Structure 1
Amino acid sequence: MLQQYSFDFSWLPGALPIFMQAAFLTIQILVWSAVISLAIGLVTGQLLTSTRGWLRVPARVYVDFFRLTPLLFQIVVVFFLIPIAFDVTLSAFTSGVIALSLNYGAFFAEVFRAGVQSIDKGQWEASQAMGIPRLRTLRRIIYPQAIRRMLPPIGSMLISLTKDTSLISVIGVAELFNTAQNVGAGTFRQIEVLLLVSLFYLVLNLPLALNTERLNRKLNLA
């Protein structure tokens, strides 16, 4: 069947500017969501390790909810529910970034929690014996060691985040996948359009994967 298919990319020059705009929008979504979700994960990860229940329990509820419910459901809920519940106006772009950030923030929280708890407790006890404050212990002693163990899962999560930006096409954001659907419907060349989109995602993710691996090797050799 594929041998009988005739590939046609004659539509590409006219559609390429649209795809470049969509790629730029996808990068914006990725950057905003990555920065916000990492910040959420860093804070929530520390709350998960707290001995105070009033801090740990709400953090655990948040993490479990966003880890155990579908991301697509969360995107739709944020897009429709937040404007109704809080009487605010949110663009589809902002709603998508919020949903992605909350979802990946929950996963990053577990990464940070596991990384911190993987460090030998003796280092905590030694810091306490020397009178070093907890935050300084985290910043100067724990995280420099834990980051080496956290880097591979963080890199993998960022790659997954890049791919999951396609899910916010469901609320009308004109990122790569949404644009591919529109161009494919207009040109009737769905296969060629999907091949082009896969190339865009590969171009976005390959440098991220390579740099993560390079940094991982550098940190583990240091």
Structure 2
Amino acid sequence: MIEFLSEYFLRIKIGKLLAVMLQSTCVSLEVFFLTLIFSVPLALFICFGRMSAVKIVAGITNLFLLIIRGTPLMLQLIFVYFAPQMIFGIGFDRFTAAIVAMVINYAAYFAEIYRGGIQSIPFGQYEAAKVLGFTKNQTFFRIIIPQVVKRIIPPMGNEVITLVKDTALVQVLGVAELFHVAQTQSGRLVSVMPLFIAGVFYFIMNWVVSKAFDFTEKKLGYYK
């Protein structure tokens, strides 16, 4: 009877733990998707600024990229949350600040991936398109972009996988994402089980991301 009750209460405890961690996983996924949705298009504008023929625009963009890529994401999270409050007396709530900092950080890295992809296309293709009567916009969107997308899939996949893991850094602002909750539950239960479960959840998310990029790369396999 005692063994039965012990097993029953253990199952209840594990069930509650999984429920709490699944809820925190939803927060991590929310951070992940919001960062991806806003950083991918923003990176394109930053890329164009970096490649601009206007020296002032290119210089400012290059300085921005240098600052973002040269400082830790954790420091950027703290800065975005506290700086507006210190300077203007108002600021973002914790979750919004986390999203803003993550979007700016990843847009900078994605922009450089875009730039590398665009500059990897031989200049002769631009000249050939001009001879065939294509406009600059037609050349860029119909000829260049499809090839660029194919070429940047592997580095983009690496960055997106890193993004899944970097969602854990928003805990520095007190956002109750997966790893933050795992640490809290591990201390409360005096057990490493919550941390192990968190590791499994991160692995599953990264496995899904990896498979999605593998599928996309195969679909774009006709660009040889």
Contact 1:169–1:178 (CA under 8 A) maintained in structure 2: yes
Distance in structure 2 (CA, Å) of the matches to 1:221 and 1:141: 13
| Structure 1 segments unaligned to the other structure (5+ residues) | 1-7
Contact 2:82–2:91 (CA under 8 A) maintained in structure 1: no
Contact 1:29–1:97 (CA under 8 A) maintained in structure 2: yes
Distance in structure 2 (CA, Å) of the matches to 1:15 and 1:221: 46
Distance in structure 1 (CA, Å) of the matches to 2:152 and 2:88: 36
Find the partner of 1:38 among 34, 37, 40.
40
Amino acid at match of 2:210: A
How does the TM-score come out when normalised to structure 1?
0.90
1:174-222 deviation line (CA, Å, top 9, x unaligned):
0001111111111111x21111000111111101101201221231245
Distance in structure 1 (CA, Å) of the matches to 2:60 and 2:131: 30
**Quick one: structure 1 residues 133 and 65, their matched pair in 2 at CA, closer, same or farther if it must change by over 3 Å?**
farther
Amino acid at match of 1:147: V
Q: Could you tell me which residue of structure 2 aligns to residue 213 of structure 1?
A: 214
Matched, 1:28 2:30: yes
How many residues are paired up? 214
Contact 1:46–1:112 (CA under 8 A) maintained in structure 2: no
Matched, 1:163 2:165: yes
Find the partner of 2:120 among 118, 121, 139.
118
Distance in structure 1 (CA, Å) of the matches to 2:200 and 2:206: 10
1:116-136 deviation line (CA, Å, top 9, x unaligned):
000011122334456644333
Amino acid at match of 2:68: F
The share of aligned pairs that are identical, in percent, is 29
| Structure 2 segments unaligned to the other structure (5+ residues) | 1-9
Contact 1:11–1:187 (CA under 8 A) maintained in structure 2: no
Distance in structure 1 (CA, Å) of the matches to 2:69 and 2:103: 12
How does the TM-score come out when normalised to structure 2?
0.89
Contact 1:64–1:106 (CA under 8 A) maintained in structure 2: no
Q: Which structure has the greater CA radius of gyration?
A: 2
